[in-house]
Amino acid sequence: MLLSTTYFGPVQWYSLLSRCTGSRVSIEARESFQKQTYRNRCVIATANGTQALTIPVTHAGSNLIKDIRISDHGNWRHLHWQALCTAYGESAFFEYYQDDIRPFFIDEGPASPVHLDCLLDYNMASAELMCRLLDLDISFDFTEEFIPSDQLETVFDYRDIISPKAKQTDPFFTPKPYYQVYRQRHGFLPNLSILDLLFNEGPEAIKYLL
């Protein structure tokens, strides 16, 4: 299976991983960076509806995803963490998982993922954490060259299917409601960041994905 990298990607992305447990998944590292996608954006539920949290990025000479760097512009790490605390502080499992998630936004020592300045590395660190918390046995590798979809013969290519702008549908994914903090106010909001599912469902999140 071939996927694009995601920033605390949507439930759909992890639903795919749940069907690949025990196997290897390839992450596209040689594509050109695309704006307004899950590559540097996640979507959460707030009291006012959905909110997109976007990592500001920069590049020097190369627009390949492997070369995209994270910018410190706008104090985004602090703002994203505050947004998560505000949105999910009352959810059933935020306190249970917050110590795992916080080091992606708050400096808690040299090993904190907050120090990663490559978008791909940062995203993969978050994906590996999510797989551990969800008990998904997944091994990741990276593409060595970019191959267009129409030239792939044996690989399931989801690079452009899992996207806010997707024109193709995923026949294997149909969002089903689960408990959300603001559901009575906004109704069920489908396919949000995996953090939404994790904070609301906790250990039951893996059953939802499966």
pLDDT by 10s per residue, the chain, length 210? 899 999 999 999 999 999 888 888 999 999 999 999 999 999 999 999 999 999 999 987 789 999 999 999 889 999 999 999 999 999 999 999 999 999 999 999 988 999 999 999 999 999 999 999 999 999 999 999 998 888 887 678 888 888 887 766 777 788 899 999 999 999 999 999 999 999 999 999 999 998
Residue 209 lies in a domain: no
* Number of domains comprising the chain: 1
- Residue 14's nearest CA partner among 38, 33, 34 is 38
Residue 18 lies in a domain: yes
* Contact criterion met (CB below 8 Å) for 55 and 5: no
Residue 208 lies in a domain: no
Residue 7 lies in a domain: yes
What is the C-alpha to C-alpha distance for residues 138 and 199, in angstroms, rounded to an integer? 21
What is the residue range of 146's domain?
A: 2-203
Residue 129 is inside which H or E element, if any? helix 119-134
Tokens matching residue 8? 């605390």
